[in-house]
């Protein structure tokens, strides 16, 4: 699939990519990244993960310690296993057993998210509208147990049931993490669709690269990105291959449903989606 190039906008504004309706019309599934995209889990997850990460680093003799914000910037879009191995290798400790720490981080984060996340009404409404003409699936780097806790806490169990959740940690023969496209390839194969029939929605650069690498048309979502980081994130998502960037699930629903309904001038609406 060829990704349309971005059209420059006035100086100081975001790039505005052109998204022909022909890329939306074949879509049968909405492939949703989970953390930071369906629910605002990134900040609370890193609060819990940072404690485990710093304990892991201490256990292998690495003096570096991270704040939750530092770790979030270093690791967003990747799972703990990938992050821990990368941090250890960068510190000159390449051969470490991270599996006990993977289990501990999963336990700590899952417990924390299950008690802190809440349903987000506008997101549930928009996803409910999208679930009419499309099927919804989750494609995540996170473990299935973590997804289960988050989906229950945020009221998403009926919209995206367990059978349509795919994890780079648990669903693949060998665990990996985005930006590896393996989890998107696996999800498309399991759902019985060609990549161009799955529209991916991602909030992180690693996720966009994963989806685009698998051949899925991809939209960036800024809904739960911190306001002060949105402009830079939008540029980064477009540079990574996102076709456009939206600021809410309702904005995505308005754009996608207009195309699927064959409404006139839907291509004009899509062209102006990124601001």
| Per-residue pLDDT tens over the stretch 83-94 | 999 999 999 998
Residue 54: Cβ within 10 Å count: 16
- Rounded-to-integer distance, Cα 249 and Cα 271, Å: 17
Q: Which fold is adopted by the domain 6-40+118-271? A: Rossmann fold (3.40.50)
Residue 38 in contact with residue 233, Cβ under 8 Å?
Answer: no
Average pLDDT over residues 260-273: 52
pLDDT of residue 195: 98
Which range, 16-20, 68-72, 93-97, 127-131, has the best average confidence (pLDDT)? 127-131
Kindly state the percentage of the chain with pLDDT values over 70: 88
Average per-residue pLDDT for the chain: 89
- pLDDT given for residue 5 in this prediction: 35
What is the structure's pLDDT at 175? 93
* pLDDT recorded at residue 76: 77
Give mean pLDDT, residues 221-243: 96
Q: Is the pLDDT of residue 160 over 90?
A: yes
Q: How far apart are CA 269 and CA 274, in angstroms?
A: 10
For the residues 239-246, what does the mean pLDDT come to? 96
Distance CA 141, CA 34 (A): 9
Q: What is the pLDDT of residue 14?
A: 43
Helix H segments across the chain? Answer: 42-59, 68-75, 80-90, 99-116, 121-130, 144-153, 182-191, 205-214, 230-240, 249-260, 266-271
Q: Distances in Å between the alpha carbon of 197 and those of 32, 162, 273?
A: 13, 21, 21
* Predicted TM-score (pTM) above 0.75: yes
For residue 165, pLDDT over 70 is answered with yes
Q: So what's the pLDDT on residue 17?
A: 40
Mean pLDDT of 163-172: 97
Cβ burial of 138 (10 Å; 0-12, 13-18, 19+) is: buried
- Kindly indicate the confidence band of residue 269, based on its pLDDT and cuts at 50, 70 and 90: very low
Distance between CA 8 and CA 29 in Å, rounded?
A: 30
261 vs 31 pLDDT, higher one: 31
- Residue 75: its pLDDT value, please? 86
**Section 245-264 average pLDDT:** 87
Report the run of H or E that residue 221 belongs to, with start and end.
Answer: strand 218-221
Q: CA-based angle 23:24:28, to the nearest 5?
A: 120
What DSSP state is assigned to residue 12? T
> Mean of the pLDDT values across residues 171-192?
97
Cis ω on the peptide bond leading into residue 13 (within 30° of 0)? no
Residue 35: both structure tokens together: 């953390």
pLDDT of residue 15: 45
pLDDT of 21 above 80? yes
> How far is 39 from 43, CA to CA, in rounded Å?
11
Average pLDDT over residues 174-182: 95
Mean pLDDT of 71-81: 86
Spatial separation of the C-alpha atoms in residues 241 and 134, rounded to whole Å? 23
The whole-number pLDDT of residue 79 equals 87
Cα gap 239→208, rounded to integer Å: 10
Look at residues 63, 56, 62 and name the one whose alpha carbon lies nearest to residue 81.
Answer: 56
Per-residue pLDDT, averaged over 113-131, amounts to 97
Query: What pLDDT, on the 0 to 100 scale, is given for residue 42?
Result: 87
What residues form DSSP beta bridges with 135? 29
Burial of 17 per CB tally in 10 Å (0-12, 13-18, 19+) = buried
Residue 191 has pLDDT above 60, yes or no: yes
């Amino acid at each position: 699939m060829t990704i349309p190039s971005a059209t420059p906008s006035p100086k100081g504004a975001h790039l505005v990519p052109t998204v022909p309706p022909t890329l939306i019309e074949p879509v049968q599934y909405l492939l949703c990244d989970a953390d930071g995209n369906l629910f605002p889990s990134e900040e609370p997850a890193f609060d819990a993960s940072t404690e485990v990460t710093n304990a892991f680093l201490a256990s292998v003799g690495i003096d570096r310690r991270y704040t939750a914000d530092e770790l979030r910037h270093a690791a967003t879009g990747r799972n703990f296993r990938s992050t821990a191995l990368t941090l250890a290798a960068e510190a000159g400790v390449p051969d470490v057993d991270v599996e006990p720490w993977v289990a501990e981080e999963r336990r700590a984060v899952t417990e924390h998210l299950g008690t802190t996340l809440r349903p987000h009404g506008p997101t549930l409404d928009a996803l409910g509208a999208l679930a009419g003409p499309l099927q919804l699936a989750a494609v995540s780097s996170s473990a299935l147990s973590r997804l289960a806790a988050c989906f229950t806490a945020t009221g998403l169990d009926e919209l995206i049931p367990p059978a349509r959740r795919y994890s780079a940690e648990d669903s693949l023969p060998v665990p990996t993490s985005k930006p590896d496209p393996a989890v998107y390839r696996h999800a498309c194969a399991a759902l019985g669709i060609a990549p161009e029939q799955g529209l991916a929605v991602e909030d992180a650069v690693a996720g966009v690269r994963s989806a685009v690498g698998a051949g899925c048309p991809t939209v960036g979502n800024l809904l739960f990105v911190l306001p002060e980081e949105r402009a830079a994130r939008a540029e980064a998502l477009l540079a990574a291959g996102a076709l456009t960037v939206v600021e809410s699930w309702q904005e995505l629903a308005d754009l996608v449903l207009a195309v699927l309904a064959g409404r006139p001038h839907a291509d004009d609406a899509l062209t102006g989606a990124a601001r």
